[in-house]
Amino acid sequence: MKTHCFGGARSCGWRWVPWGLGLAVQISLGATLWAAPRVIFETGFEQFEGYQPDADLVGQNGWISFGQGGNGILAAGVAGFQGQSAYIGYLAPPANQTDPFNVWRPVNLKPVGASLPLIQFTVSLQINDSTTAAPYFDDFRWSAYNSEDHRFFTLDFDNESQTVNFILDDASGNAPPPIRSTGFAFHAGEPYDLALTMDFARNLWSAKINDVVVVNAQPITTSGAKQTLGDVDAVWAIRTPGKAGDNYMIFDDYKIVATDLVDIPPELVAIGPLATTGAFVVRVLGEPGVTYTLEATSDFTHWDQVATGLGQSPSGYVDLQDTTAKSNQARFYRAQSQP
C-alpha cells in the first residue's frame, strides 16, 4: 500500500519542483505537529479481524447495506493490495437500479462540542473495468452521512469518463444536486489512496488522492443538517438502469480518526516564479478565513518566515510569495495555520 499521511508530523513528504538553472524548490505539507489521533474505526478486512474471504462483506463485523448488490471479501493476492480486501459491484446489481447500493459500517460520532472536531477518513481503492463484450460502466463513490441518514457529500469516480467529481447536499426542489467536476482523472485498474478531511467546527471538507488535493474547502452541509458523522459509505451507482456493468471497486485499509486540530492542515502547491520580479509563488490550500504563514529554509536548520496571508472565501487558498528565492540554490517550504 501507499503510505497514508495522518498522524505524526504534519509534513509527511517532499516534492521536487525544478526552477530555472541550478535552482530547485521542495514543498513540505506543514509544520505544526498533529495531536494524538483518536481512532474511531479501522479495518484491513483481514481474517484475524473476523472477515471470512469469498463471503459477503455485509453481515460481517457490523457492516450493513442499503439495497442489495454485489459485495464481498477478496482473499489475499490482489495485485496492489496487501492481505485481504473488500469490494462492491461486479455481480448482482440492485433490483431497483435507479437507487445506488451502499455498504457501510456505522460509527455515529458526534464531533461538534467535543474536543475532537476534525475527522479524517482514509481508504485505498481501485476501480476495475467491466469485462463483458459490450461493457457498461458505472459510478463508484464514497459518501459521508450524518447519524440521521442525511448525505452530506460524495466523491464520485465516474468509470465511463474516468473522471473524479463531487456532489454536495444542495439539491433544488425535486432535482438532484449537481455533479461538479474536480478537474482530475483516474485510471481503471490502478490503486489510489483517498483521504477525506472534515472540519465540523467550520463546516468544511477537503479530499486528497495520492496526496494531491482534488477538492478543497467545500461545505460539509449546505442545508444546515445535523453535524454528526454517522458513516462513510462505499457506493455502487448504476449509470444506466437495466445496463449495469460488471465493473467493481476494491477497497482496503479503511480508517476513521479524529484529532483536536482546529482546521484542515494546509497543503502546498508550487506555482512558480513571477516573470516581473522573480519571486517564487507557493499556493497554500487551506480554509477560508484562516491565516497561513509560509516559511522557507535552505539547510533545514534555520527557517525564515517569508509571507503571511489569509485563506480567501470561498476557495480557501492563498498565493504567497518568497521574494528572496532567487538568491538561493535550493529552497524548501512549509506552511502552518495561525491560531
pLDDT in tens, 249-286: 999 999 999 987 888 888 898 888 898 888 999 999 99
CA atoms within 13 Å, Cβ hemisphere of 252: 23
Same domain, 194 and 303: no
Contact (CB, 8 A) for 132 and 246: yes
Q: Is residue 185 part of a domain?
A: yes
In a domain, 9, yes or no: no
Last residue in a domain, options 226, 259, 292 = 259
Residue 7 included in any domain: no
Return all residues near 312 (Cβ < 8 A) that are at least 6 apart: 288, 318
* Domain co-membership, 313 together with 238: no
Domain finish residue from 193, 224, 259: 259
60 and 202 assigned to the same domain:
yes
227 and 310 belong to one structural domain: no
My answer on whether 143 and 28 are in the same domain is: no
**167 lies in the same domain as 298:** no
Q: Are residues 192 and 308 in the same domain?
A: no
pLDDT value for 6: 28
76 shares its domain with 170: yes
Beta carbons of 301 and 319 less than 8 angstroms apart: no
Q: What mean pLDDT comes out for the span 317-330? A: 86
What whole-number percentage of the chain has pLDDT above 90?
60
User: Domain check: are 145 and 242 in the same one?
Assistant: yes
- Number of structural domains (the chain) is 2
Judge if 276 and 200 occupy the same domain. Answer: no
Domain that holds residue 25: 15-34+265-337
What's the CATH number where 61 sits? 2.60.120.200
Q: Establish if 5 belongs to a structural domain.
A: no
Assess whether 159 and 288 both reside in one domain. Answer: no
Do 94 and 28 share a structural domain?
no
- According to the model, what pLDDT value does residue 3 have? 26
Q: Cell 462492491 appears where?
A: 88
**Which of 259, 289, 315 lies at the terminal end of a domain, its last residue?**
259
- Does residue 103 belong to any structural domain of this protein? yes
Of 87, 72, 154, the residue nearest 126 (C-alpha): 87
pLDDT digits (tens, 9 = 90+) for 126-164: 999 998 777 899 999 999 999 999 999 999 999 999 999
pLDDT confidence of residue 330: 80
In a domain, 117, yes or no: yes
- Burial of 112: CB neighbours in 10 Å, binned 0-12, 13-18, 19+: middle
In a domain, 53, yes or no: yes
pLDDT, position 115: 65
